[in-house]
A = this chain, B = another copy of it.
Amino acid sequence: MADIVEVKLIEFLKKKAFQPGDALPKELEMAEALGVSRNVVREGLSRLKMLGLIESRKKRGMVFVHPDILGSLEKVLDPIIMDDTTLKDIFELRLVLEMGLSELLYLKKTEKDIIELERIAKTQDTGDNTFRIKQEIAFHGKLYEMTGNETLKRFQIMLLPIFGYVTAMEEQPIQGKTNHLDLVEILKGGTKEDFSKAMLEHLAPHFNRLKDF
């Protein structure tokens, strides 16, 4: 019945429209008000703490903070403990994000970004597989970074293990016929539509993989 307390606490926070830094009632008061032991209240508070909704400071009490919405997701987004269906869903989600990025990229890209992106793309692709993956991560990570959307970027980083897990299943990595340098060239002078098309070609091997699931 700590679940109930948890829900009530969250409702309480939303209802009162707390500002960051505002202090919550003390544990004993809550326990009394809800008719449960301090122990149960602490369990509820502990969960909110993990969700990043509150922080506790001795003597001050619990204070409300703006939640770190991705914090909790981070803890469970691990391919080892996920079921296969969700794994596929997440893999697909990543591809959808990647495809949808074009519009934002063309809104926000700067000269400086593109130069940096080109530098990353030009890094020699040795035969080493772990290096290739690193380079892949760097390039696509930079794309997300260019959007200036921190949440999006963090989300992408969290998705990497999933991506790695799925792609690691195959021995011989299949390259799309459009590579990173092609993408950079389009970003320099081409249209959004060209970029979308090129990105699709670049991701084609992954889209094909969806059918195997």
Residues of A near any B CB (own CB < 8 A): 2-3, 6, 10, 13-14, 17-18, 20, 39, 42-43, 46-47, 50-53, 66-67, 69-70, 72-73, 75-78, 80-83, 85-86, 89-90, 92-93, 95-104, 107, 147, 149-152, 155, 193, 196-197, 200, 207, 210
- The reply to whether A150 and B46 contact each other, CB–CB distance below 8 Å, is no
The answer to whether A77 and B86 touch (CB under 8 A), given A96-B152, A99-B100, is: no
Which of B13, B53, B76, B89 is in CB contact (< 8 Å) with A51?
B76
What is the minimal beta-carbon distance from A83 to any residue of chain B, in angstroms? 4
What are 7 sample pairs from A and B whose C-beta atoms fall under 8 A apart? Answer: A3-B50, A39-B39, A66-B82, A69-B90, A85-B150, A92-B149, A99-B99
Which of B6, B18, B100 is in CB contact (< 8 Å) with A50?
B6
Which of B51, B69, B76, B96 is in CB contact (< 8 Å) with A103?
B96
- The reply to whether B93 and A81 contact each other, CB–CB distance below 8 Å, is no
- A104: B residues at CB distance < 8 A: 92, 95-96
The answer to whether A93 and B193 touch (CB under 8 A), given A17-B80, A51-B72, A86-B66, is: no
